[in-house]
Amino acid sequence: RFPKVFLPKPDLGAGKNLQEALMKRKTERDFSPKPLSKEVLGMLFYWSMGITNKSREEIFRRFYPSGGARYPVEAYIAIFRGEGVKSGVYHYNFKEHALELLPFASSENIREVLTFLSTKPVLPRPGNFLCDSKMRRFKGFGARICSGH
């Protein structure tokens, strides 16, 4: 498969309570000049896309809801400045809590696309989080739920 960067899991005992985290949440436009570290990436991907538990039948439960546990969202990151992680475009492998380097994509191409699509100047940032939806995983399941069948 692709070259992997294994991410550390966050310290599960060092978290904030939900209310405190929600009250401090804000959108930032002033990006840090610091490169993205494996620890920051590990925390970001673990809490947004990671596994909460796995059943004996290899059914994975994750931190975000999904009808029928289909989880159609795939996460990617374009890293422009990394610490212990090369610049490039990576896919998040949730089963291994690892980033897989995609050799056919480049972070510079992503930066160019973001600049082209943006109505405002693209500010320098250490990376961009990207998501894609694999709706075919539902195989009509969503339509059956919505229609009540």
* Predicted pLDDT of residue 37: 92
The span from the CA of 8 to the CA of 44, in Å, is 11
The span from the CA of 119 to the CA of 114, in Å, is 10
Full pLDDT tens readout for the chain, 149 residues: 788 999 988 776 666 676 777 787 777 667 777 888 999 999 889 988 888 877 766 778 888 888 777 787 888 888 888 899 998 889 999 989 999 998 887 777 777 777 766 666 666 678 877 777 765 554 544 444 343 33
Phi and psi at 120, nearest 5°, equal -120, 160
Find the DSSP H helices in the chain. Answer: 18-24, 38-49, 107-117, 141-147
Task: State the amino acid at position 39 in one-letter form.
Answer: E
* Predicted pLDDT of residue 141: 45
| Distances, alpha carbon 142 to alpha carbons 68, 69, 125, 138, in Å | 9, 11, 37, 6
* Predicted pLDDT of residue 149: 39
| Distances, alpha carbon 74 to alpha carbons 38, 103, 110, 139, in Å | 19, 17, 17, 17
